[in-house]
Amino acid sequence: MLTNAEIIERGNRYVMSTYGRAPVALVRGEGIRVWDADGKCYLDFVGGLAVNSLGHCHPKVAASLAAQARTLIHCSNLYWIEPQVRLAQRLVELSGLGQAFFCNSGTEANEAAIKLARKYARSQGGPERYEIIAMEKSFHGRTLGALAATWQPKLREAFEPLVPGFKFVPLNDLSALEAAIDEKTCAVMLEPVQGEGGVHMAAPDYLKEVSRLCREKGLLLIFDEVQCGLGRTGRLFAWQHGEVRPDIMTLAKALGGGVPIGAMLAGEAVARAFVPGDHGSTFGGNPLACAAALAYLEVLEEEDLVGNAARVGVYFQERLQELAARFPLCQEVRGRGLILGMELSRPAAPLVDAAREAGLLINATSGNVLRFLPPLGVQPSDVDEAMEIMYRVFEGIEA
């Protein structure tokens, strides 16, 4: 077994430097706790960036993976795959959408959504209808199509020219959206709760109006629920908080209980625009990942984790509000369920480092926003434990 220092030294030598990494290597996890290579234990409120929604190594996911690994790990989409078919049926029943496509990540799910939207719009309105309107502060992934839908200039600039056909408008500004729509527009794409952009919520009324506008203008509505979906906001899908349903929805992060899988769902009429050869993925929807995802959805229901996320999310947000009232460097607390952000008047990174040293993993996004994404089964006592560390960290920063 290597130590933190040994792993970091080798990593710096052999792994491409695409991440700013904390100086610890995590080697083991159980529930809401993880351990590093030197044996130090942490309370995990990063949760694999919204992936470990069941906590670490949930026994049901582990058992399902082990059983499927002994039966059939991979066979290719040239053949029908029972766990994939069952997962598609389950997601369709839960979402009210029509059909599913499977891939391996969030960015791939969004690539699939962009391609499907273009193909469908072309079949309806011709090849000139290909533009997608996305939101400022959006994050949809890092492959070239999904990156073109991602707003943040510093993620995009070095890789231009990107895929053409994307425009950005501010979130929650209906008239800006209305003004941006023209004869080229085929779809509107947004995260009901923006994650990487700093935990910004689309207002329920705004979503309703966007949905109405899309129907009126014959545009597809695409929701990226890669981060906010699958229970995190206290509903299975974040759009279920309002009276809207998208035409296309993307999922990934939490779906496989820690195993890579992404999904793109669409209403049946839109979904049928894809015909054999239009899109594909060697690993997408493989038996192993689908078995994990089926276990994920079962555990959500058995343990009422969506309800827990709603309940404990309210408690956690109240505790964060108390903290914010006490320390002037806290500007705002926002979010829903267990996707929560605290905007600071200064860079968040030193607080993230101090919290980690004190045994709490949290994350900073957009420079000055602390983000909290604990497992959906987090208990009020875990929140109290985290808050105790947070108070100490904030006192230390202020001093």
Ligand X SMILES: *Cc1c(COP(=O)(O)O)cnc(C)c1O
Binding residues (CB under 6 A) for ligand X: these are: 105-107, 110, 139-141, 191, 195-196, 224, 226-227, 252-253
> Is 137 one of the catalytic residues?
no
- Sequence-ordered list of residues with C-beta below 8 angstroms from that of 302, at least 6 positions apart, any chain: none
For ligand X, which is the closer residue by CB, 4 or 227?
227
For ligand X, which is the closer residue by CB, 51 or 305?
51
Nearest-approach distance from CB 339 to ligand X, in angstroms? 10
Nearest-approach distance from CB 195 to ligand X, in angstroms? 4
Task: Report the candidate in 92, 57, 3, 50 with the shortest Cα–Cα distance to residue 255.
Answer: 50
Q: Are 212 and 190 in contact (CB under 8 A)?
A: no
* Cα dihedral 248, 250, 255, 259 sign: positive
Alpha helices (runs of H) in the chain, residue ranges in sequence order:
4-14, 47-50, 59-71, 82-95, 106-125, 144-148, 153-156, 174-180, 204-217, 268-271, 287-302, 305-326, 349-357, 380-398
Which listed residue (45, 139, 237, 372) is catalytic?
139
Residue closest to ligand X (Cβ): 106
Nearest-approach distance from CB 226 to ligand X, in angstroms? 4
For strands 363-365 and 131-135, give the pairing. Answer: unpaired
For ligand X, which is the closer residue by CB, 4 or 250?
250
Nearest-approach distance from CB 109 to ligand X, in angstroms? 7
Nearest-approach distance from CB 107 to ligand X, in angstroms? 3
Nearest-approach distance from CB 373 to ligand X, in angstroms? 10
Q: Are 206 and 174 in contact (CB under 8 A)?
A: yes
Distance of CA 165 to the CA centre of its chain: 24
Strand, helix or coil for residue 168:
strand
Which listed residue (253, 316, 372, 394) is catalytic?
253
Q: Are 274 and 116 in contact (CB under 8 A)?
A: yes
Q: Is 248 exposed, middle or buried (0-12, 13-18, 19+ CB in 10 A)?
A: buried
Which listed residue (36, 44, 224, 382) is catalytic?
224
Strand, helix or coil for residue 332:
strand
> Is 224 one of the catalytic residues?
yes
Gap between the Cα atoms of 398 and 328, Å rounded:
9
Nearest-approach distance from CB 240 to ligand X, in angstroms? 17
Nearest-approach distance from CB 194 to ligand X, in angstroms? 7
Q: Is 121 exposed, middle or buried (0-12, 13-18, 19+ CB in 10 A)?
A: buried
The residue written with tokens 């502060």 in the block is 137
For ligand X, which is the closer residue by CB, 140 or 334?
140
Q: How many CB atoms lie within 10 A of CB 220?
A: 24
Per DSSP, 45 falls in state S
For ligand X, which is the closer residue by CB, 330 or 339?
339
For ligand X, which is the closer residue by CB, 226 or 305?
226
Paired residues of 370 in beta bridges: 342, 364
For ligand X, which is the closer residue by CB, 24 or 252?
252
> CA angle 284-147-237, nearest 5°?
60
For ligand X, which is the closer residue by CB, 148 or 252?
252
Catalytic positions: 139, 224, 253
